[in-house]
Amino acid sequence: MAKTEIRVTGFGGQGVILCGYLIGKSAAINAGKHATLNQSFGPEARGSACSATVIVDDDRILYPYLTKPDILISMSQEAYTKFEPELKNDGLLLVDEDLVKDAKARDKIKMYKVPATRIAEDLGRKIVLNIVMLGFFTAIAQIVDKDAVRKTVESSVPKGTEELNLKAFDKGYESGMEQLKEKKK
């Protein structure tokens, strides 16, 4: 696998940083790869722009900052508008279709949409939309094996929330796999 640069975006309170952390932890701890994580967010606790950047590679990572993301995960319109121009022309764009209304694929970008907020609400807790997006990302990007990410989710979420988070992950993953099958037709 070549080096993959990933940017996870949204607003504070959506679990953007946790989503990035889980991608990196899954790669490094449960898949034997190398990973880095950087994060940025506004001074507000909730509601401001938020971003986590993750680099995953089979080899050591000598420069831990993104140069041009291969993958953009966007969980808010503001984040999409701000970070989409940085995405590589042949990149992968994953959006929460409930919160990013005007996403457009340019150049050779492959775009996939998931109703992550709706799925999380159907599960009874809107707060797990980041885990829905993580499952969706895992299916579409295929950088880290599903079982490795599931194991990371189970061991990383607060005690007592494991079942809900694993359901959220599975729903996102199933949505991603369905879309991959549809695109192959």
Q: For 93-128, how does the pLDDT look when each residue is reduced to its tens digit (9 = 90+)?
A: 999 999 999 888 888 999 999 999 999 999 999 999
Tell me 158's DSSP state: P
Q: Which of 138, 92, 98 lies closest to 116, judged by CA?
A: 98
Ordered domains of the chain (ranges, CATH)? 4-184 (3.40.920.10)
The pLDDT tens digits of the residues spanning 121-165 come to: 999 999 999 999 999 999 999 999 999 999 999 999 999 999 999
pLDDT digits (tens, 9 = 90+) for 3-40: 999 999 998 889 999 999 999 999 999 999 999 999 98
Cβ atoms within 10 Å, residue 166: 17
The neighbour count for residue 115, using CB atoms within 10 Å, is 18
The predicted model scores a pTM of: 0.94
Neighbours of 174 (CB within 10 A): 14
Closest of 79, 81, 84, 73 to residue 141, by C-alpha? 73
Place of tokens 């037709």: 185
